[in-house]
Amino acid sequence: MTSVLDKKKGLDFQNALLHLSKEDRILNKVIKEIKPKEPDKRKPNFEALVRIISGQQLSSAAASTIFSRLKHLFENKEITPFQIKETESHAILKCGLSKAKTRYIQNLAEFFLEKPEFLNELKAKDSDELIESLKKIKGIGIWSASIFALFYLNHPDVFAWGDVTIKKAIRLLYEEENIDDQKIKKITYKWKPYRSTACLVLWRWIDEGAVKFS
């Protein structure tokens, strides 16, 4: 199978901005105003998924603190499936993780130890397939899977379903007070095959104060 990743060699940021500007007049105004920059590359590995799970439904500051404590449990400050398996639950809980998230991370470690080639297999899938594969792991929902595909697998066409900031941005920019999934699908269809970049633009717009344009 030849995936979107193979065809586009990851996120082609500048071409994505050009496409979005051409296809969506609202995003065109946003892009001109905030001048978004391409995100730094992140390594797709087990530790990345642990970071995403540990930070679910938390502020950035709280998530960063908890993840830092978790890394400091280990002498080399690297989180691997084997290290998680060998660590007692109470030590992980003391880092600030809930019982549920602790179980999810332990289950993830077991999964990776049983399927060490899982991440390599993901790279051969399109966005929908890889997200569905990730969602089969307990503790990883559509938001977590989307974030991993977008930021760590560098997939060009991922929409961050379930992200409250993205939903807020769409509601404000497109003046949709009662926004639902069908309305979001209609608005975001024109962003294909660069929905990842569109999400990056919307996050940046909110971060910079969500200034509306005339």
111-161 confidence digits (pLDDT tens): 999 999 999 998 888 888 999 999 999 999 999 999 999 999 989 999 999
Closest to 88 (Cα-Cα) out of 73, 66, 101: 73
Map residue 16 onto helix, strand or coil.
helix
10 torsion bin: left (phi>0), alpha (psi -120 to 50), beta (else): left
Instruction: Tell me the domains of the chain and their CATH numbers.
Output: 4-40+158-207 (1.10.1670.40), 46-122 (1.10.340.30)
Query: Of 93, 111, 112, nearest to 102 (Cα)?
Result: 93
Residue 132: which residues within 8 A CB-CB, separation 6 or more? none
Measured distance CA(184)–CA(87) in Å, rounded: 42
This prediction's pTM: 0.86
